[in-house]
């Protein structure tokens, strides 16, 4: 349990950040935990893993790709519990982890391929301007793929993303690949879209609801509203695995409220600081969701999710 607590603190502290990285890490932490624990029998093992799963699930509030992965692994284990012996549990968990891991990685590759087609190969002095917010490994995968395909006439405007500056990570990854980057503070978002001829806005997602609402880093809806005002296409790059199946049963996605000290360590009895990590972007502001199944309206997410990942449909 000590090691699991250390693993969890890496997610909570944002050392591991971004929905995709959080999901990949959480399933690995569960599998490693399965290799370390001593169990009397398979049921004992199952109970210990359920306890670890529940702790992992609560590390970040707005992360269904992680929750779907942990649920997938434990459902698979439950299905074979009567046919395996206690020594087989760790290898089975590792195998189920690998299946979900591959689903995530393959979806990222497919999204990069599909999304990169939206970045044109311009010739001469013409330039294509993409804008993004925060750090999304899906968005950077698309931009890096476009660059790899030899598309050189695009540049990226990105926001610094207060309070944890994830935008700097985006800038570093793109600069390393030789992509031109313009870095602005979050409050310059409207100014940048209005004055810098932005052609496409691309953000990632943490969660998608059954109505097609996307939850992503605080500031995402502001950017969507600016896109709407300035008539700039606004797309979200996300694997279907970020769909929260519980939302179709009326459960609302939670928005993580983070430690206020991330913003300001000032203490005053009349001062209240709020630090929401994410916010919602309604489907009416989203031109398309770029997924492993193609680009479509975000309101179709549930249909595609159930078609492509039937084993992830909620059973109750």
Residue with tokens 């490994």: 137
Q: State how far the Cα of 94 lies from the Cα of 170, in Å rounded to an integer.
A: 31
Q: Which of 103, 112, 227, 277 forms a contact with ligand RUB (CB under 6 A)?
A: 277
**Based on CB atoms, which residue is closest to ligand RUB, 69 or 204?**
204
Q: State how far the Cα of 173 lies from the Cα of 140, in Å rounded to an integer.
A: 7
Annotated catalytic residue within 134, 172, 287, 316: 134
- Residue 80 annotated as catalytic: no
Q: State how far the Cα of 208 lies from the Cα of 201, in Å rounded to an integer.
A: 18
Binding to ligand RUB (CB under 6 A) within 189-218 occurs at: 204-206, 216-217
Binding to ligand RUB (CB under 6 A) within 215-254 occurs at: 216-217
Q: Which of 71, 166, 209, 298 forms a contact with ligand RUB (CB under 6 A)?
A: 166
Q: Is 130 helix (H, G, I), strand (E, B) or coil?
A: strand
Structure tokens at 185: 């503070």
**Based on CB atoms, which residue is closest to ligand RUB, 30 or 134?**
134
Number of H helices, E strands in the chain: 10, 10
Least distance (Å) from ligand RUB to the CB of residue 191? 21
In 160-225, DSSP assigns E strands to: 180-184, 200-203, 207-208, 214-217
Least distance (Å) from ligand RUB to the CB of residue 126? 28
Q: Which of 20, 171, 223, 312 forms a contact with ligand RUB (CB under 6 A)?
A: 20
Do 61 and 254 contact (CB within 8 A), yes or no?
A: yes
Name the residues annotated as catalytic. 134, 206
Give the footprint of ligand RUB on this chain (CB under 6 A): 14, 17-21, 134, 136-138, 166, 204-206, 216-217, 277
């Amino acid at each position: 349990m000590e090691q699991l607590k250390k693993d969890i603190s890496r997610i909570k502290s944002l050392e591991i950040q971004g929905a995709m990285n959080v999901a990949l890490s959480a399933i690995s932490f569960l599998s490693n935990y399965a290799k370390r624990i001593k169990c009397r029998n398979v049921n004992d093992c199952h109970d210990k893993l359920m306890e670890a799963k529940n702790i992992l699930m609560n590390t970040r509030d707005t992360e269904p790709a992680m929750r779907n992965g942990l649920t997938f692994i434990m459902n698979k284990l439950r299905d074979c519990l009567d046919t395996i012996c206690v020594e087989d549990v760790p290898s089975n968990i590792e195998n189920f982890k690998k299946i979900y891991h591959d689903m995530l990685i393959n979806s990222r590759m497919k999204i990069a391929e599909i999304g990169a087609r939206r970045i044109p190969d311009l010739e001469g002095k013409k330039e294509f301007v993409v804008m993004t917010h925060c750090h999304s490994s899906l968005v950077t995968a698309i931009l890096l793929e476009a660059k790899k395909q030899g598309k050189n006439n695009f540049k990226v405007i990105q926001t610094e993303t207060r309070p944890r500056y994830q935008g700097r990570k985006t800038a570093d990854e793109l600069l390393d690949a030789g992509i031109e980057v313009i870095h602005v503070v979050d409050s310059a978002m409207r100014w940048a879209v209005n004055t810098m001829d932005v052609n496409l806005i691309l953000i990632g997602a943490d969660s998608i609801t059954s109505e097609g609402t996307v939850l992503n880093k605080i500031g995402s809806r502001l950017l969507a509203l600016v896109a709407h005002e300035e008539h700039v296409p606004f797309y979200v790059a996300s694997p279907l695995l970020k769909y929260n199946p519980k939302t179709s049963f009326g459960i609302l996605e939670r928005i993580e409220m983070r430690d206020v000290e991330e913003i300001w360590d000032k203490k005053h009895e009349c001062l209240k600081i709020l630090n929401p990590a994410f916010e919602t972007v309604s489907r009416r502001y989203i031109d398309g969701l770029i997924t492993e199944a193609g680009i479509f309206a975000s309101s179709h997410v549930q249909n595609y999710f159930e078609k492509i990942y039937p084993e992830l449909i909620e059973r109750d």
